[in-house]
């Protein structure tokens, strides 16, 4: 597949809260989607990204859910100095809400969502909750000459599902134009995908690092965004536009010790269905939220 290509667009207007989390202009950034308390995948992915030249790593939120011992994930992120966008899970845990604000509407999805949320809330320390309360809803940064807006679900709603087969290009392009950015970077769906929006703009969904992408593989995925470094200006006097600004999006599979995580999940009394997912690569819960075409790609 040919590399994704984008060119610089308009300046990013200020939103609240919005922070400049990645100082300077990195040209290679790793984006981690939902971690879901999979500390073993997170540890492997941090090493994987750094070995492949990531100048910065960004987490797009949802640190808890699904996996065991949520504080282990939080300690890894804090120790690595990785900035985090506030996901719906993080917002709920930080504020001690009754549910995960996941955005599910089917009782079958909500049944398992409640099990994982109650476990995560009960096992997240007060210190970790205070740290999560400071997460911004959005983060902006420069990827070389490109402007990137990072969020969890969408720029307008933290728990909005943007699925590949049901999200119109013009809708995404309008979001990018309204924000004045070249690249929209999100997660929440748990399945990675990207799209050229035209006019030099792109949407990238980093998928999830915490569980497989319902693809029958035990690996998990993250997104690596890179851009050619701008070269010297064109023209005899060096006054022309900079050379560079070609965006490349790579989805990176990460192997991690699945069986060790499965043992931990069993010891914590988490549902067999959760363990089955990480061992087989197929989702066994939260299936009703999937659009028809996405669900047809899975086993169930």
- The residue extents of the domains of the chain are 25-229+244-296
Measured distance CA(103)–CA(226) in Å, rounded: 31
* Superfamily of the domain at 25-229+244-296: Metallo-dependent phosphatases (3.60.21.10)
Average pLDDT over residues 213-232: 87
Task: Using pLDDT thresholds of 50, 70 and 90, give the confidence band for residue 229.
Answer: low
- Which burial class, exposed, middle or buried, applies to 180 when counting CB atoms under 10 A from its CB (0-12, 13-18, 19+)? middle
CA distances from 159 to 56, 141, 234, 271 (A): 25, 22, 44, 24
Q: pLDDT tens digits for 106-164?
A: 899 899 999 999 999 999 999 999 999 999 999 999 999 999 999 999 999 999 999 99
Quick one: which of 249, 289, 300 has its CA closest to 159? 289
The pLDDT assigned to 20 comes to 55
For the cut 70, the answer to whether the pLDDT of residue 81 exceeds it is: yes
Closest CA to 253 of 298, 294, 217: 217
- In angstroms, the Cα distances linking 51 to 47, 55, 165, 227 are 6, 10, 33, 17
pLDDT of residue 8 exceeding 60: no
Digit-coded pLDDT (tens) for 148-188: 999 999 999 999 999 999 999 999 999 999 999 999 999 99
* Whole-number Cα distances in Å, 154 to 33, 55, 217: 13, 25, 27
| pLDDT for residue 12 | 32
Q: What percent of the chain has pLDDT over 70?
A: 88
Dihedral class, residue 198 (left if φ above 0, else alpha if ψ from -120 to 50, else beta): left
3-state secondary structure (DSSP) of residue 34: strand
Phi, psi of 183 (to 5 degrees): -135, 125
CA contacts within 13 A on the Cβ side of 117: 21
Q: Look at residue 236 in the predicted model and tell me its pLDDT.
A: 36
Residue 7: the pLDDT is 35
SS3 247: strand
**Interval 239-277: pLDDT, tens:** 333 445 789 999 999 999 999 999 999 999 999 999 999
Find the radius of gyration of the CA atoms of the chain: 19
Which are the contacts of 146, defined by CB distance < 8 A and separation ≥ 6?
6, 7, 8, 9, 182, 183, 227, 245, 247
Structure tokens at 187: 């997660």
**Strand pairing class (247-254; 220-227):** antiparallel
């Amino acid at each position: 597949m040919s590399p994704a290509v984008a060119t610089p667009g308009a300046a990013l207007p200020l939103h609240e809260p919005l922070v400049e989390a990645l100082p300077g202009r990195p040209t290679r950034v790793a984006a981690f989607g939902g971690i879901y308390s999979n500390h073993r995948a997170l540890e492997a992915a941090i090493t994987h990204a750094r070995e492949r030249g990531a100048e910065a790593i960004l987490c797009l939120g949802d640190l808890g859910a699904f996996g065991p011992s949520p504080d282990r994930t939080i300690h890894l992120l804090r120790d690595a100095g990785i900035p985090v966008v506030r996901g719906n899970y993080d917002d709920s845990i930080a504020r001690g809400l009754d549910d995960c604000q996941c955005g599910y509407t089917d009782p079958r999805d909500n049944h398992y969502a409640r099990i994982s949320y109650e476990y995560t809330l009960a096992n997240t320390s007060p210190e970790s909750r205070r740290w999560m309360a400071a997460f911004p809803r959005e983060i902006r940064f420069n990827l070389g000459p490109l402007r990137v807006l990072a969020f969890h679900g969408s720029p307008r709603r933290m728990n909005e599902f943007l699925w590949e087969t049901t999200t119109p290009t013009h809708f995404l392009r309008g979001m990018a134009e309204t924000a004045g950015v070249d690249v929209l970077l999100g997660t929440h769906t748990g399945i990675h995908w990207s799209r050229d929006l035209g006019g030099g703009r792109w949407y990238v969904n980093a998928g999830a690092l915490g569980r497989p992408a319902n693809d029958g593989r035990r690996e998990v995925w993250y997104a690596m965004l890179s851009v050619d470094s701008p070269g010297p200006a064109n023209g005899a006097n060096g006054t022309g536009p900079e050379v560079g600004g070609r965006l490349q999006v790579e989805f990176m599979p990460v192997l991690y010790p699945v069986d060790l995580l499965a043992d931990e999940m069993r010891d914590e009394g988490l549902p067999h269905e959760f363990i089955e997912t990480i061992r087989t690569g197929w989702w066994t819960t939260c299936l009703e939220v999937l659009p028809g075409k996405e669900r047809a790609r899975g086993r169930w």
